[in-house]
Amino acid sequence: MAKQYREVIDRARSSGRTYLMEHESKAVLERLGITTTGTGVARTEDDAVEIFSALDCPVAMKVLSPDVVHKSDAGGVKLNLKNGDEVRSAYREIVTAFSGKRLEGVSVQKMARPGVEAIVGVANDATFGPVLMFGLGGVFVEVLKDVSFRSIPISSSDAKDMIEEIKGYALLRGYRGYSSDINALEKLLLSVSDFVMDNPDISEMDLNPVFLYPEGYMVVDARIILGDPRPEPPEAKKQDLHDLFYPKSIAVIGASGTPGKLGWNVFTNLVSHKFRGKLYPINPRADEICGCKAYPCISAVPEPVDVAIILVSAGVTPDVVEECCKCGIRYIVVESAGFAELGEEGLKIELQMKEIADRYGVRLLGPNCSGIINTHCSMVQSIGIVDALSMGNIGLVSQAGVCAAGMLWGLRHIMDFGIIATIGNKLDINETDIMEAVSKDEFINVICMYLESVKGGRRFIDAAKRITRNKPIVVLKSGRTDAGKKAVASHTASMAGNDQIFSAVFRQSGIIRARDYEHMFNLARIISKQPFPNREGVFIITYAGSLGVIAADAIIDNGMRLSELEPQNKERLKKLLPDYVCGMNPVDYTFSQDAETVKRTIEIGVDSDDVGSFIVVLQAEILDSYVDALKSINYKGKPIIACVAGKEFAMPDVIKMENAGIPVVSTPEQVADALGIMYRHYKQVKGQEPQA
Ligand code: ADP
Ligand code: MG
């Protein structure tokens, strides 16, 4: 079927307009099958009366002018006009009030019967392109900013989530005789999403208000803003990044034998971690570095090189890149700094490098990064000296090198990384490329990302959606302030804060958004060691009553509940309990709690169908005595997290517990928060169709 509505859009375009007035916008919507009040256009007083008579009901009249976007602000909306005289005077008043503007006419439309006021809109996000907004009208939008966003296109489950996510959802389900047709609303959201997908030149839209009824809805006001057609997202480069992560040979250009130099750090890291491949230091002033024969330039290396790490100054880097390309090297890691992060000059050098790499079809990581660590091939390319690492299942993608190196020194005691990739200025390889590559790695079970920005938002969403079905992704996104508000015509666009869009997109793609640095590593650590809870019942075992009560409150705050043992399991538990213990969940053993009792209690919970996860509150000073017992339990896929108040003063035992696979956190709230996030993630992922 031809897109009939295009006539309306094209007509506006040909008269040089990008704003579709209400009658035009509604005409477009009607042709999409969206219910609106419709509107007649009166160009004289008599016209207005004629339209009114034909409608045979009270009418609203509004100014129609290409110069007036917000009609009621200037007195351009007259409501509930019931007879010819009222219609005539409304017409005259509107014409007089807008005598200075170009006047298309006055719209005459039937009064919509009252309903729950909602707003549906479209804005264009700098990172993710078109986004859809939904919220309730009036104070809900204006004061409470109670709106939800999703990146377009949305799925029907996105539409459902958008509606359920707002705080005013309870009002939609029914309040004081009002209720709303949620199905019809979902369809409306999907139609708008489809329309925007089909028409890349739609920039913003406001359907405001939409009245929601127990059956159906009515679009009462509408505006559409046209823009330049959205550019097609660039195709992802086909070249697989496997060899970048598992090279057989590495050349370090700018390797140095002088301790303290970055070229020394990088090469020493590769040597001391015993990289399983060949190493070629490149330095015209050295014969040998760290026991490896040095070469004056890359072209002097007699054997094929998979990856070149470049550490020379920014100015000469493009020449070195070209030399590497000529030698047939397919992956280049530029760790040198002094590029776009410094300004115009640096950016120029970057673009030069990009042009060279693209010309040769070579993939380039950085510049201004700290390379890649892959513990599964003992490869450490970091710019800072890195101590011994064990092979792990966490993949960390980090924009800033410092973030990866500095914290690693401590975290390596309690969490095991597989891959740590720093992306620096993202000249060629960006976070999405790395995320996809890391997700394909058989050793990686959880992906953790620290991001300051996202390049090519649409591809990021699609990739993340695919990946999170199999491997969880935890993201910390910083730079949460609004990225400079630009002038916008629609209400929706003025509401669309950059950070809120990120949150929406993360939810839509199944990404877990961390609140802060510590939260990100806590979640990644717990998820890397424990399975997801697949039911909401939580079993709490404690030695301190208060911590048990706090945990019980906190799990409820996080959308879970206390589990209830079956009668036969209660009987088993009773036999374990000393007579002064009354509760069965939390089970409070007071200071008589010991490892054997905790183990037997957990085993009862493992057998209970209502237990989805465990919280054990353990005494810091005797933490060591629990390690073996907790390690020996067959949990049958149910997660456990230990809560140890004062854990920071018992680090050696915490490390033992962590190495036994049991995550330790310091407060009951932190345990409950993590379990809640994991349970929600489990439900969301389970709700998606299995991967094709
Ligand atoms: P604006 O350009 O100022 O957004 P609107 O068309 O939204 O103008 O009109 C302002 C208000 O008037 C609406 O929020 C709605 O409450 C009311 N209104 C407008 N048109 C109608 C109508 N056809 N039926 C009932 N109420 C209407
Ligand atoms: Mg309006």
Q: How far apart are CA 123 and CA 40, in angstroms?
A: 28
For residue 121, pLDDT over 90 is answered with: yes
Ligand 1 centroid distance, CA of 74 (Å): 13
Instruction: Measure CA 145 to chain center.
Output: 20
**Domain encompassing residue 313:** 242-526
- Give nearest CA residue, ligand 1 atom 7: 221
Domain co-membership, 325 together with 433: yes
Beta-bridge partner residues of 474: 448, 512
Task: Look at residue 135 and give its three-state secondary structure.
Answer: strand
Domain co-membership, 66 together with 106: yes
Beta-bridge partner residues of 466: none
- For ligand 1, whether the C-beta of 62 sits within 6 Å is yes
Instruction: Return the ∠ at Cα 240 (arms to 239 and 245), rounded to 5°.
Output: 130
Decide if 375 contacts 417 (C-beta within 8 A).
Answer: yes
Between residues 173 and 630, which one has the greater pLDDT?
630
Report the percent of the chain where pLDDT is more than 70.
95
601-633 pLDDT tens trace: 999 999 999 999 999 999 999 999 999 999 999
Q: Among 315, 309, 357, 317, which residue's Cα sits nearest to residue 335? A: 309
- For ligand 1, whether the C-beta of 60 sits within 6 Å is yes
127 located within any domain: yes
Ligand 1 centroid distance, CA of 23 (Å): 13
pLDDT in the model for residue 481: 55
- For ligand 1, whether the C-beta of 109 sits within 6 Å is yes
- For ligand 1, whether the C-beta of 11 sits within 6 Å is no
For residue 351, pLDDT over 50 is answered with: yes
Domain boundary among 180, 202, 226: 226
Q: Among 102, 112, 351, which residue's Cα sits nearest to residue 210? A: 112
Backbone φ and ψ of 147, nearest 5°: -130, 160
278 located within any domain: yes
Beta-bridge partner residues of 77: 62
- Give nearest CA residue, ligand 1 atom 5: 221
Ligand at shortest distance from the CA of 77: 1
CATH assignment at residue 54: 3.30.1490.20
Helix, strand, coil shares of the chain, percent, nearest 5, are 40, 20, 40
Q: How far apart are CA 359 and CA 24, in angstroms?
A: 48
Domain co-membership, 541 together with 577: yes
Query: Long-range contacts of range 591-594, CB-CB < 8 Å, 24 or more positions apart?
Result: 591/543, 591/619, 593/541, 593/542, 593/543, 593/618, 593/619, 594/625
- Give nearest CA residue, ligand 1 atom 13: 209
- For ligand 1, whether the C-beta of 55 sits within 6 Å is no
- Which atom of ligand 1 is found nearest the CA of 73? 3
Domain co-membership, 539 together with 582: yes
CATH assignment at residue 197: 3.30.470.20
53 located within any domain: yes
Domain co-membership, 500 together with 605: no
Ligand 1 centroid distance, CA of 692 (Å): 46
The pLDDT of 551-569, averaged and rounded, is: 97
571-587 pLDDT tens trace: 999 999 888 777 899 99
Domain co-membership, 500 together with 626: no
pLDDT in the model for residue 692: 38
Q: How far apart are CA 476 and CA 512, in angstroms?
A: 9
For residue 565, pLDDT over 70 is answered with: yes
Non-local (6+) Cβ contacts of 59 within 8 A are 51, 52, 81, 87, 108, 109, 110, 111
Ligand 2 centroid distance, CA of 76 (Å): 11
CATH assignment at residue 657: 3.40.50.261
CA distances from 587 to 432, 517, 521, 559, 613 (A): 46, 33, 29, 21, 14
Beta-bridge partner residues of 665: 643
Domain co-membership, 392 together with 536: no
Domain count, the chain: 4
- For ligand 1, whether the C-beta of 138 sits within 6 Å is no
- Give nearest CA residue, ligand 1 atom 16: 209
CA distances from 16 to 9, 43, 226, 493, 676 (A): 11, 22, 11, 22, 53
pLDDT in the model for residue 672: 98
The band of 482, judged by pLDDT with boundaries at 50, 70 and 90, is low
For residue 537, pLDDT over 90 is answered with: yes
The band of 494, judged by pLDDT with boundaries at 50, 70 and 90, is confident
Domain co-membership, 489 together with 543: no
Instruction: Measure CA 239 to chain center.
Output: 25
List strands edge to edge, sheet with 40-42.
40-42, 105-110, 59-64, 77-81
Beta-bridge partner residues of 110: 59
- For ligand 1, whether the C-beta of 529 sits within 6 Å is no
Decide if 210 contacts 120 (C-beta within 8 A).
Answer: yes
DSSP letters spanning 364-395: EE-SS---EEEGGGTEE--SS--------SEE
Which of the listed residues 77, 111, 208, 491 should we mutate to test ligand 1's pocket, taking the one with most ligand atoms within 8 A of CB? Answer: 77
Q: Among 269, 268, 275, which residue's Cα sits nearest to residue 250? A: 275
The pLDDT of 412-420, averaged and rounded, is: 95
Segment (H or E) for 250: strand 249-253
Beta-bridge partner residues of 151: 131
Domain co-membership, 427 together with 466: yes
For residue 323, pLDDT over 70 is answered with: yes
Ligand 2 centroid distance, CA of 656 (Å): 62
495 located within any domain: yes
Non-local (6+) Cβ contacts of 16 within 8 A are none
For residue 406, pLDDT over 90 is answered with: no
692 located within any domain: no
516 located within any domain: yes
232 located within any domain: no
Beta-bridge partner residues of 218: 211
Domain boundary among 191, 226, 261: 226
Between strands 105-110 and 40-42, the pairing is antiparallel
Which of the listed residues 22, 221, 491 should we mutate to test ligand 1's pocket, taking the one with most ligand atoms within 8 A of CB? Answer: 221
Report the percent of the chain where pLDDT is more than 90.
81
Residue 362: CA count within 13 A, CB half-sphere: 28
Tokens of 630: 């907790």
Non-local (6+) Cβ contacts of 457 within 8 A are 125, 127, 128, 129, 151, 505
- Which atom of ligand 1 is found nearest the CA of 22? 6
Ligand at shortest distance from the CA of 207: 2
pLDDT in the model for residue 690: 45
- For ligand 1, whether the C-beta of 71 sits within 6 Å is yes
Domain co-membership, 624 together with 550: yes
Domain co-membership, 329 together with 470: yes
Decide if 266 contacts 288 (C-beta within 8 A).
Answer: no
- For ligand 1, whether the C-beta of 37 sits within 6 Å is yes
For residue 276, pLDDT over 70 is answered with: yes
691 located within any domain: no
pLDDT in the model for residue 691: 42
What is the number of residues in the chain?
Answer: 692
Between strands 59-64 and 77-81, the pairing is antiparallel
Which of the listed residues 20, 25, 79, 120 should we mutate to test ligand 1's pocket, taking the one with most ligand atoms within 8 A of CB? Answer: 79
Decide if 42 contacts 63 (C-beta within 8 A).
Answer: no
Domain boundary among 56, 87, 110: 110
- Which atom of ligand 1 is found nearest the CA of 77? 9
Between strands 278-282 and 249-253, the pairing is parallel
Ligand 2 centroid distance, CA of 149 (Å): 19
Domain co-membership, 129 together with 149: yes
Decide if 679 contacts 532 (C-beta within 8 A).
Answer: yes
Count of other CB atoms within 10 angstroms of residue 682: 18
Q: What is the mean pLDDT of the chain?
A: 92
